[in-house]
Amino acid sequence: MTAAVRPPPEARDEALSWRSRLQDLWQTLGLVWRASPRHSLIYALTTLLGSALPAANLYVGKLLLDEIAQAAQGRVTYQALLALLGVQVALGVLGSLLSTVGTASQQLLGDSLQHSVSRRILDKSSELSVEAFENAETYDRLQQAYREVGSRPLGVATQLVGLAGAAVTLASVGALMARLGFWVLPLVILASVPGVIVSNRFGVEGYRMLRRQTHDARVQNYLGSLLTSDTLVKEVRLFGFEPYLLRRWREYYLGFRVQLEALVRRRAGWGFLAALSSALLIALASALILRRAAAGEISVGDFSVFVLGIAQVQNTVSGLLNGVSGIYQNLLYMRNLFSFLELPTRDLDAGEPWSGPIETIEFRAVGFRYPLTDRDVLRGVSFTVRRGEALALVGENGAGKTTLVKLLTMLFEPSSGTILLNGQDAARFSPRSVQREMSIIFQDFGQYQMSARENVALAEVTRLDDRPGVQGAVDRAGAAFVDDLPGGLEAPLGRLFTGGRQLSGGQWQRLALARLYFRRASVLVFDEPTAALDARAESETIQALREETRDRITLLISHRFSTVRLADTIVVLEGGVIVESGSHAELIAQRGKYAALYDLQAKGYLAEPPAPVSRPRVQDEP
Ligand code: ADP
């Protein structure tokens, strides 16, 4: 399915049947119940009991008023009045007790629920394939699910209990009011309806509007983050593109603003009409009841039931209808959450466990196409690399190098062809067990706002406290600056948290390099390792790389030929296919694509002609 034929999200919401809504409702209740059965039960019971109190209060109030009226004629004792007062006070105390217990259990339930749903989202996120994160729609869904996790599931539960409570209140108060005349209750109920319909309707519209804006809001947030980023501030200032970013940020805001204004204006107009019609209906009901009062058909107490009952019924009806619309809106969110939780995952532990070092990696006619796209980004890629060898991937941007690395590291599965590890089909093995034999430094490696030790040892969390191991990796990566930090390996890094120390780009990269070395892996992958390193660092890295190459498989992506030429085999990718492969000397002798690229770069910094070299050697760049 391509983006063009995909229906917009609101159309898909519409398409969902009531049945699936009910299923979602059921599933949500299950979620709430499992989060805390005890608090769910206490909350539901206290709310339902409390919902019967308004009618009881109205009735006792009516009795009291009628008795007072009788007392005026000397027909009632003080004790009888006191007894009724006692009942009223007892009802008041019971009411506050129920609401105190109910509120406390709701708060605790909300907390448990937020924790359990967040936990499910995080569990799910850690099971999702890397591909899912690269898909904008999935990513939006994840972000939205996580953002609103605190309010939505509890919202559905409280609204549903509230609905049941409102039904209890309405039935009991309604029974009292119905005694005043059969038309009273319908008129009062009718008066509450327009307001609720308006707020319901615009609530849904508001939600849809926000949902339509999700993508643009993400872009706007991103633009804002560029202006507030510590790492980008230099580039932004120097090129001076703040006004451009600000202008685009504001354009998005203005777009949202236009939509909001239209919505607010329509909501205000309809809201006023609703209030007007409601006032007229209440006036009509009052006039009718006053006529019966004038005829002496109802008591003072009855009249108090009517007057106080109006507010009660209106509140309850609007609570009831708002509850329905609230549940509807929250269920839209819950659907989003459930569809996120239902996304297919890739079980990284599925398959036979791999053990022992990887001795050979063979790509056999491997092809790959990103999901939802219609172009193969890799086609018929075949090569073999053995233990002790280094293989370099060369090619222009977009040639498919990073994709190839994602396949090799089992982050992605090939769309066609086979990857063989030690001669066996890699698909047979659990990705996680194979990945344990691999270590990598990505071009966009992580800068973890944690201690230096953690930054390194995250590569193998079971050895998080292996300080000598971390120190060894730090030394090998040439990250000696760590020793000079206050607190050494334990120094908190990064600017995000207080006390953290910001490192330079090159220093962060050395830590990433230390992370790569820390894992005891038989395959090492360097994805443009030298991109942020100075010349000395680069030559040290290359030395280390040559050392690593002896008993391992090394895969290297680089634009620098001084690094690439050290590899035993160089594979040149162009448009997703291998156009040349061989050693540096062979490829230079071929005078093909590689030689041309090499000449081009060599001209920039080499005094000597880039003639075929028999032995790889380290070439310093200026
Ligand atoms: P390189 O690392 O050589 O620069 P990549 O492997 O990153 O190249 O990209 C190869 C091709 O795949 C490019 O045309 C790129 O646009 C495309 N591509 C990369 N990532 C994705 C993705 N997540 N979805 C769709 N296409 C992608």
pLDDT tens column, 15-46: 457 788 889 889 999 999 999 999 999 999 99
Torsional sign, CA 149, 152, 156, 159:
positive
Which residues, in sequence order, are CB contacts of 167 under 8 Å at separation 6+? Answer: 320
Task: Note the pLDDT of residue 589.
Answer: 92
Torsional sign, CA 110, 111, 113, 114:
positive
Residue 611: pLDDT band by 50, 70, 90 thresholds?
A: very low
Q: Specify which residues 421 forms β-bridges with.
A: 361, 424
Residue, of 543 and 101, whose pLDDT is higher = 101
Mean pLDDT score, 213-225: 90
Residue 95, pLDDT > 70, answer yes
- The whole-model pTM stands at 0.70
Measured from the Cα of 405, ligand 1's closest atom is 6
**Lowest mean pLDDT segment, chosen from 107-121, 398-412, 457-471, 552-566:** 552-566
Judge whether 352 and 429 are in contact, CB under 8 Å.
Answer: yes
Q: Which domains are seen in the chain, by residue range?
A: 15-180+298-341 (no CATH), 360-604 (3.40.50.300)
pLDDT tens column, 292-312: 889 988 888 988 998 888 888
Task: Note the pLDDT of residue 577.
Answer: 94
Task: Note the pLDDT of residue 618.
Answer: 34
Measured from the Cα of 573, ligand 1's closest atom is 3
**Lowest mean pLDDT segment, chosen from 147-151, 392-396, 494-498, 565-569:** 147-151
Alpha helices in 352-501 (DSSP H): 401-408, 431-435, 452-457, 467-476, 481-484
CA 586 to chain CA mean position, Å: 50
**Lowest mean pLDDT segment, chosen from 134-143, 178-187, 428-437, 581-590:** 134-143
Cα angle: 74, vertex 80, 82; to 5 degrees: 115
Residues with CB under 6 A from ligand 1: 134, 370, 373, 377, 395, 397-403
Q: Is 561 exposed, middle or buried (0-12, 13-18, 19+ CB in 10 A)?
A: buried
Residue 607: pLDDT band by 50, 70, 90 thresholds?
A: very low
Cα angle: 173, vertex 176, 182; to 5 degrees: 110
Task: Note the pLDDT of residue 496.
Answer: 76
Residue 556, amino acid: L
For residue 137, how far is its CA from the centre of ligand 1 (angstroms)?
18
Which residue's CA lies nearest to atom 26 of ligand 1? 370
SS3 content of the chain, % helix, strand, coil (to 5): 65, 10, 25
Query: Percentage of the chain surpassing pLDDT 70?
Result: 91
Alpha helices in 179-241 (DSSP H): 184-212, 214-227, 233-239
Which residue's CA lies nearest to atom 13 of ligand 1? 398
Residue 469, pLDDT > 90, answer yes
Cα separation, 390 vs 382, in Å, equals 16
Measured from the Cα of 399, ligand 1's closest atom is 3
Ligand 1 pocket test: pick from 128, 370, 579 the residue with the most ligand atoms within 8 Å of its Cβ. 370
For residue 121, how far is its CA from the centre of ligand 1 (angstroms)?
28
Measured from the Cα of 135, ligand 1's closest atom is 23
Residue 14, pLDDT > 60, answer no
Which residue's CA lies nearest to atom 19 of ligand 1? 403
Task: Note the pLDDT of residue 536.
Answer: 59
Task: Note the pLDDT of residue 619.
Answer: 36
